Amino acid sequence: MQLTRRDFIVTSSVLLGTAGRLFGQAPPATPRFQTVRGNVGIFTARGGTIGWLITPDGVVIVDSQFADTAATALAGVKERSARPIDLLINSHHHGDHTGGNLVFRPAVGKIVAHSRVPGLMKTVATAAKTEANQAYPDTTFDQTWSVSIGSETVAARHYGPAHTGGDIAVTFQRANVVHMGDLLSSIRHPRADRPAGASVKGWITVMEAVTKDHDADTLYIAGHAKVGTPEVVKRDTLLGFRDYLTAVVDYTQKGVSAGRSADELVKSASLPAAFASYEGSPEFVIRAAHDELS
């Protein structure tokens, strides 16, 4: 069955609001703060991985999960720094990355995101009737953005359509750590939000561009990771995910060329054995690829 744009948005909103079981969203976990390198770390609980920079000169947060876990994250940040939070950066618009914005809003100077994010958030919120629960980015950009926080430079870049049409990668340059948002699902089947401008083919190019912009020592924070595996990975994981996306596109393209429907391709999904350990289902990325390639 082909979903209309509104049906897809409403369905996506409901699923994200209930931890997105069909998209492989992990159940609630014990909240955890973890230092990654230098003054950069992560917070995990439920929803997309939150990144943080906490220094004597300033505090930056990347993504806000859901309202309940955002409150826990905010309390933990306040325990670690008496400073106000200079910036909250949203890696993209999905509710498991922006649902806690309203909780952070009173403590945050600015909310930063790609220029498409506020509109995409409003579209989803209107369809789901959750407008009152939103805090929208007030600082946006099209391609690149950066700011200096003491000795650290925080830089964000939109590489093009991938998981959505408004994803960014956020680099803490001195620490050499990149928060990928949902540009990276580590050992997990991702989803691609076609109504929001996603491109599975473009995603492959984005992953290659990100690795070219960084060196072999760079650490990458995945928006989501398979349960029991680390959220912080190195270049080989990004390139492995690129290879996974390539396999999805190849499989789907053959099916489209043979006149097979998305339902048929999902039912008989066959990807290389190298990706057999991926968590969740490839259904949603195959459907997105089929829509893109048809």
Residues 180-197: tens digit of each pLDDT: 999 999 999 999 999 999
Q: How confident is the model at residue 16 (pLDDT cuts 50, 70, 90)?
A: very low
> What are the residue boundaries of the structural domains of the chain, listed by start?
5-235
According to DSSP, the β-strands at 177-179 and 219-221 are: parallel
Q: For residue 250, is pLDDT > 70?
A: yes
Residue 89 scores a pLDDT above 60: yes
Average of pLDDT values for 17-43? 70
Specify the pTM: 0.91
Q: What is the mean pLDDT of residues 160-166?
A: 98
Share of the chain above pLDDT 90, in %: 90
Give the confidence band of 1 by pLDDT, cuts at 50, 70, 90: very low
Tokens of 39: 């003054």
Please state at what angle helix 235-257 crosses helix 283-293, rounded to 10 degrees: 60
Superfamily in which the 5-235 domain is placed by CATH: Ribonuclease Z/Hydroxyacylglutathione hydrolase-like (3.60.15.10)
DSSP, collapsed to helix, strand or coil, labels residue 197 as coil
Contact yes or no for 277/187 (Cβ under 8 A): yes
Average pLDDT over residues 150-177: 98
